[in-house]
Chains A and B, each alone.
Chain A
Amino acid sequence: MVAIRSLAAILTYLIGLCGMIPLFPWLTTFPRIALVAGLLSGTWQDRRGNWPLKPWIQNIAIVPVFLYYTLQFSRANPIEPVISVLAIMLAVRLSGEKSVRHSLQIYALSMFCLASSSLFDLSPVFLIYLGLLLFMVAVALVLLTFQNQDQAMTVSKPDLKRILFSGLLMPIMVVPLLLLFFPIMPRTQLPLWHFLSPPSTRMTGYSDTVEPGSQSSIAESRTLAFRAEMSRQAQTQPYWRGTVFNRTDGIKWTRSAQVPAENIEITAQTVSQVIYPEPSAVHTLIALDRPTSLSLYSVKRSPDGVYEMIGAAGSRLIYTANSLSSGTVAQRNSLNRLFYLQLPEQLPARVKNLASEIVRAGKDDRAKVQFLESYFRNGGYRYSTVDLATGNRALEQFLFEKKMGHCEFFASTFALLLRAAGVPCRLVGGYLGGEYSQLGGYYLVTDDKAHVWVEVYIEGSGWERIDPSGFASNAGDVWKASGSRSFMHRISLVFDSLNHLWNRSVITYDFEQQMKIARHVGSRLEGVNPTKLLSSFVPYLAGSLLLAGILFTAARSSLFRSREQRILHRFLQTIEHGFDIPAGVGGVGLFEIASTANNSHVSDFVDIYSGAIYHDRRLTDAEYLRLQQILRILKGVKSKIP
């Protein structure tokens, strides 16, 4: 036996928690404190069973808070005051005595709080909270109905089980409707309120300029950059192309949008991939190096394989890209050498000397590149993200003194030297590597994988990818593919797969995409021999029909009750209430009821009803009307009994 009162109280707190936890991160300090305080004081008072705070005191106390937030409300700040008031009202109700009315208010407020949390975040966790909340509210409503009748009522374990089951039924029954509404209802791909101020976390890692020497160390963040759904690539560390930097002032590299035409030759099979970038303020679209096409409506394609989104960034996207992954791309038209040999007017003397050394060493471009590569390899350069050279002479310092730096140092200096030696080249910014999730079949690339490398144009071959960071003496340690993964790491990959599934199938749900798949399946089916297909499906079809039939007949008995069953049900209820005879279905016979009730109307009812039922026939209309009459009389009798 469990006391309904305490059960309802526990449920009320849980429901309150379900409402406040998702909203909590988006609240300001005061409502946060209020929520925690309200919850704590509520539970404490509940344990003591004493409620010094009277509801009217609370109601008055809430008025100034309400007024304050009303004044805060403006067109520029419409959401925060509203959710603050919601949270504070929830806190106040949680802290007070929980009458049935107050409990219902808590449920409603929790529901609102949970709903408003979706203005900020579209996470799959929302669905879990919603399911929990619906379930608990359904159960709590039943319990509250009991509590309303009798404060001291208890409930037995089997009864509790039944209540829980019926509570579970409600969220489950929603699921078919959910599936029905999901494809047709309008949806948002980004949180309604939050997109106006996109998260600032996604600013690191990837930038519009390459400027080594601006910071003495760089912080690495492992926030997600994008996922790329594709088969696993042979190369352990795939290069993901973002942007191309083609101008340099000797210190930093930037991008000039006037890129000369570049007609690349697609010689090999392209790799198709579906990219799911995380929302960010960056317009550049990432794809496996080097993309030959990219499907997105508003996209600006540059000749050098850079794709940029037109319009506001920040929403959740999907696009497919096709790439040549070989690392060397032939170009059909002649190269605008001048454009890729652009250099600042002033170059440090030591750089100039090294460049002329390269020119002397190599008779053609390939030999020059090879010379520079061996120079880097034998120069004792180290890859590092701390203790970096800074300032305007940072590149020179890196090259000749410190000899340690990150990819930007390696790539910038390498390209600068090549250009100084007369070899056309450019810098490519993007990502290197990524975790492959077997479960989800995609590469998971985080921001700390951001990378810069060099593309060199070799006459007769084309654009060749060269990664100068790989020439560092400790490159093997830094860039090696992580072999054995820890257990926690694998777990986090599994969770990421689930998250990805949510983003893919719910947040960025695309009706057209689904239709395309359906059409694809349809066209595939056309080629199939129908009789063969049918015969292979017959057992499944028969099985599912049988199952449906069984379920239907099972459900029929409980869902579609006959006229006889309905009137019997009403009769038994009347008997239970009016005559106080426990007439649970099947426990007591009808004639037993009639003799116990000792009432001529009851006897009449039993005679007429049994006369039909135990003759294995249905009630005639006349009998049915008569029974209804008797029931009405019985109800009248009942109301006369005090």
Chain B
Amino acid sequence: MNLPAQAHAFTKVFETLSREYLQGKEEVLRLSVIALLVGGHILVEDLPGLGKTTVALALAGVTGLSFGRVQCTSDLLPSDITGLSIFNREEGHFSFQPGPIFNNIVLLDEINRAMPRTQSAMLEAMEERRVTIEGVTHPLPDPFMVFATQNPSDQSGTFLLPESQLDRFLICTGIGYPAEQLEREIIAGGGIRERIGSMVPLVTSAEILAARKDVQAVYLSDKVLSYIHNLVLATRSHELILTGLSTRAAINLAQAAKASAFLAGRDYVAPDDAKGIAVAVCAHRLVMRSDMTTTDRGGVLRTIIAGIALPLA
């Protein structure tokens, strides 16, 4: 398989976005592309105004995928997302009006503001990739990717996602403030929402689907497999962690590592890939001991990773 050529398109997607539109957001962009390549969902936890929505919009723009947006509030109902059947007086029957979830890329803004009923409906749709309304099952489009955001500082009137549902997100990450010089440039240049509208798609959805197959075919050697397994085992026996990583987490880590290797233009996974993506894929899935819930899970995971030797030979 001539992997570099196929990977090149996505490398270009990533590079175009990070150079021309979203400077200083390389990491979240890379993770988004990885999530897209694996077919997973991404949760971005950060303060408002750091460009979470812009990232999602830009991703949709550059891939030419349809984009839907849900601004979550406490009175948001599941049908507001999934859509509902409306009686058509002229035709004399109910017709299904698809909600915003019937898009390729769905931005769920401030997901923790939605009430648990709505949250679980959304998360179910994310997992099943279909929606059943009034007995009729409607498949979601493919590729389908949820780009959820969450504001960690605003706690009043929010419903934190339970751990079991956090597990549905392939990747959870933050954005962070841009570097000083970069921020000055951004301030000087103003917003980029207008420019995003005029973006030219660089890949088609068919290419994305093909690339997903290629990612699946990336070679995962026994050595890297053992490395991932050791990492998972280490989280299960760590003293600060109540519940370690699940098997699903391990599968997701391997998939994300493959996508990361694919993005780097390789047809095999290096331990670096797994190491580089492990915190984004795994940290949010760790259940800390009750007295340790405030501990930085990313930090704990990084210490665990530092204690595991990379297989170099």
The chain A residues found within 8 Å of chain B, CB to CB, are 562, 564-565, 568, 572, 585-592, 610-611, 613-616
Contacts and interface: CB of A to CB of B under 8 A. Distances in A.
Given A562-B313, A586-B309, A587-B309, A616 B221 contact: yes
A615 B313 contact: no
Nearest to B273: A591
A613 B310 contact: no
B268 A586 contact: no
A587 B308 CA distance: 8
23 contacts: A562-B313, A565-B313, A568-B313, A586-B309, A586-B310, A587-B309, A587-B310, A589-B270, A590-B312, A591-B264, A591-B270, A591-B272, A592-B275, A610-B270, A611-B266, A613-B221, A613-B223, A614-B219, A614-B224, A614-B270, A614-B271, A615-B268, A616-B222
Contacts of A568: 312-313
Contacts of A565: 313
B245 interface: no
Nearest to B224: A614
Contacts of A592: 272, 275
Interface of B: 219, 221-224, 264, 266, 268-273, 275-276, 306, 308-313
Contacts of B219: 614-616
A592 B272 CA distance: 7
B277 to A, nearest CB: 12
Contacts of B268: 610-611, 614-615
Contact of B312 (A586, A611, A615, A616): A586
Contact of B271 (A562, A589, A611): A589
Closest 10 CB pairs of A and B: A586-B309, A589-B272, A591-B272, A614-B268, A616-B221, A565-B313, A614-B221, A568-B313, A589-B310, A564-B313
Contacts of B224: 614
Contacts of B312: 568, 572, 585-586, 589-590, 613
B269 A588 contact: no
Q: Which of B271, B311, B313 has its CB near the most chain A CB atoms (within 10 A)?
A: B313
A504 to B, nearest CB: 51
Contacts of A564: 313
A585 B312 CA distance: 7
A591 B276 CA distance: 10
A613 B313 contact: yes
A397 to B, nearest CB: 93
A146 B266 CA distance: 43
Contacts of A589: 270-272, 275-276, 310, 312
A614 B313 contact: no
B313 A588 contact: no
Contacts of A614: 219, 221, 223-224, 268-271
A608 B30 CA distance: 25
B309 to A, nearest CB: 3
Contacts of A562: 313
Contact of A585 (B221, B271, B309): B309
A65 B310 CA distance: 63
Nearest to A617: B221
A587 B269 CA distance: 17
B263 to A, nearest CB: 12
Nearest to A607: B266
Nearest to A566: B313
B75 to A, nearest CB: 48
Nearest to A583: B312
Nearest to A611: B268
B14 to A, nearest CB: 16
A615 B275 contact: no
Given A562-B313, A564-B313, A565-B313, A590 B223 contact: no
A614 to B, nearest CB: 5
Contact of A615 (B221, B276, B309, B311): B221
Contacts of A572: 312
A376 B306 CA distance: 94
Contacts of B221: 613-616
Given A568-B313, A587-B306, A589-B275, 4 more contacts: A565-B313, A572-B312, A587-B309, A613-B223
B253 to A, nearest CB: 15
Contacts of B270: 589-591, 610, 614
A345 to B, nearest CB: 101
Contacts of B271: 589, 614
Find the residue from A586, A591, A614, A615 having the highest chain B CB count within 10 A: A614
Contacts of B308: 586
A616 B310 contact: no
A590 B272 contact: yes
A562 B313 CA distance: 9
Contacts of A615: 219, 221, 268
A545 B238 CA distance: 38
A562 B312 CA distance: 13
Nearest to B274: A589
